[in-house]
Amino acid sequence: MTSVHVTVASLIDRLESHRLAETEIIWWGSPIPVFGDLSAAGVASLGLNPSSREFVDESGSELDGPDRRFHTLNSLGLSSWSDADARHLDLIVEACSSYFEWNPYNAWFKRLDMVVSAANASYYDSSRKACHLDLIPYATTRRWAELRASHRSSLLSSAGSTLALLLRDSPIRTVILNGSSVVQLFQAMAGVRLEQKAMPAWSLPRQSGSVMGIAYWGQIDGLSGVYFDHEVSVIGFNHNLQSSFGVTKKVVAAIAAWVAQVSREGTS
């Protein structure tokens, strides 16, 4: 079994736990440890948790047929996750690995790919693959910021060392953090304080002033008590490219230019 198979099996076991049942996860949807082919990716972007739109349409109905992105109890013909066997694990892992080849949520990933591409990788280019990871591999019915603090805590606890183990056992050597919430949680998990720098060119206008752009960078050799035999470069920015109000193409281009510089020179 690959590391992704082992991870999926572990995450499925947790799906029917009492602790997770109390949160607002999409319990009938499979866990999503990775978007794309982890075994071939040298660069990974990092977010909070999968969007509900990976499983449902605008009206909240389950995606089906050619619109489906990931497996569910319904698509696998299961009545509960405890009935999943090796065949079902293979199908779930395949959906993760081939995500960008079929029906990716481009409204979310295309913008982020502009920054990922600056690190000489892409979700959509098989010759220089990138993948996407999340701190919590479970989709929720509401956005992360709208969840109760106790539910966020339970989800973080249930995710455990999932991210660390995937990074340890993969060729990923660069991780790109998308947004301040991801940066803060990642720093807490890694037990590090990333270098940071104010970036005026990234500022977002507001009625009462502006939100300053902030760049982050550093190196880690472990996460959540799991240690690697290599270092991973970490690059981040405080604006969530998909949800921060006022993130223009100009700002995205400026962030991408900085990511390209850091990737090339290893400095800020």
Q: What is the pLDDT of residues 120-149, one digit of tens each?
A: 999 999 889 999 999 999 999 999 989 999
pLDDT per residue as tens digits for the range 208-228: 778 999 999 999 999 999 999
CATH 3.40.470.10 fits 34-61+106-265, yes or no: yes
What SS3 state is found at 235? strand
Write down the pLDDT at residue 19: 78
At 268, is the pLDDT very low, low, confident or very high (cuts 50, 70, 90)?
A: low
Ordered by start, the domain boundaries in the chain are 34-61+106-265
pTM of the model: 0.95
Residue type for 250, please?
Answer: K
Distance CA 220, CA 234 (A): 7
Angstrom distance (rounded) from CA 101 to CA 40: 14
In tens, the pLDDT along 70-88 reads: 999 999 999 999 999 999 9
Mean pLDDT of 240-254: 89
Per residue in 195-205, pLDDT (tens digit) is: 999 999 999 98
Among 188, 132, 134, which residue's Cα sits nearest to residue 159?
Answer: 134
> DSSP H helical segments within the chain, as ranges?
3-15, 18-21, 73-76, 86-97, 99-102, 106-116, 149-159, 162-168, 180-190, 249-265
Phi-psi region of 129 (alpha: psi -120 to 50; beta: other; left: phi over 0): beta
